[in-house]
Amino acid sequence: MASPHRTICMFSNLYPPVYSGSSTQCSQLARELSNRGHEVIIITAHLDKQTAPYEKIDGVHIYRLPAFHLPKMTVSLNFPWLNSTVIPGNAHKVNVIFDQHKPDVIHLHNHMFDLAFSAVRAAHQFNKPLIVTIHTLIKHPRPIYNWILYPLDRWFLKRMVIERADLIVCPDATIERYVTEAFGPVDKVLLPYGITQMQKPPEYKMESIRQKYGLENSPIILSLGHLHEIRNRKELIEILPALLLHFPNLKLMIVGDIGTNSAELLAKRLGVSNAVIFTGSVPHSDIPTYLGIADLEAHWFHESNPQNKTLGIAALEAMGAGKVVVGTADEDVYGKGILDNNGNVILVNLASLENLASRISGLLKDDQKRAAIGVQARNTIADHFSWDNVCKQTLVAYEYVIEKKLKGYK
């Protein structure tokens, strides 16, 4: 049975043209739901002044609230898009939006930015059900900062945001485990990210990137995602001297905003700076072109708990483009049997750099193996992460919280 027409209001401090995994996921979900006949309203921060305070794009109403850009801070891994919408008049603007559109459900993306409090206030004031998608574990690689972050997350945000939600959405088992450990017994659901399968870009676009960075005849290891100390590319740079012995023209291309200089310093110390390219942040629309020229994609997150390993959105997008992904995820992070080590993904153990170098070297030498894994990777994304599947599950979650609210349950 088809889902009834719904009006959905999504809150997210991060939204294109501000690019991050969560902003991209939020915008794509909004577009896909709109394409299926639902009315979607986005309330976000107005950070890029070249954009209008209100736009309608792909059928989605986008309202950008006045905001100010916060400086990069070590405690937040030098994230470049920290912002605050705590500005007089914004609460009234949200009220006007709600009066105009009368949403059936509120969907908050990220629980740690200040629009979370606006979403909670609106849910209470207008008596609307609230769903929260947790995109990020709040944890720092330097334990001293966790003395600040843990109480903020597990006491303040738990009480002010999480416990006021009707349902918590967990995109993978790592987030699900984190929610249980940090917040206790809350109503939650495992609902995967949707991934748009990227098509091979035109040859002229790929040639433009090759010329820009001098990549003619170079094997390319692409590493997608913002560069910070939880995703610092340390091991990839450390194995470059060994890889360069077999592939003298090899390039490691790191695509993402640069929040730490540790990777650059390590490359200089090892004498491999010429083999590492830091592109900085690029528009999400350019990612297919970078994937098009790459031989494989590799990155991972450094977590003290081995179970807290996930591929992340960027790696799933690379799989959807038919690329071999090298990562360190738990094989069951998206459910039993979805990831198949050596079948649709290459999962590595970072304990042995020699083994890591050998695995990547073997892949670079074997075009047929990369192609076979890439086909399986693309099929996996189509089978388990398609927007049809994700939208159906999301709409089921919306109906669940709407019914829950009507019955007065919490």
Report field, pTM of the whole predicted structure over 0.85: yes
The stretches of 131-261 forming alpha helices (DSSP H) are 143-151, 158-160, 173-183, 203-213, 234-238, 240-246
Digit-coded pLDDT (tens) for 106-133: 999 999 999 999 999 999 999 999 999 9
pLDDT band for position 13 (50/70/90)? very high
Whole-angstrom Cα distance, residue 406 to residue 410? 10
Tally of CA atoms within 13 A in the half-sphere of 289 that contains its CB: 17
Can you give the pLDDT at residue 324? 97
Q: What is the mean pLDDT of residues 193-220?
A: 92
Digit-coded pLDDT (tens) for 368-383: 999 999 999 999 999 9
Which DSSP string corresponds to 247-293? -TT-EEEEES-B--SHHHHHHHHHT-GGGEEEEE---GGGHHHHHHH
Can you give the pLDDT at residue 306? 52
Can you give the pLDDT at residue 410? 57
pLDDT band for position 308 (50/70/90)? low
Can you give the pLDDT at residue 269? 97
Sketch out the chain's domains with CATH numbers: 7-194+386-406 (3.40.50.2000), 203-384 (3.40.50.2000)
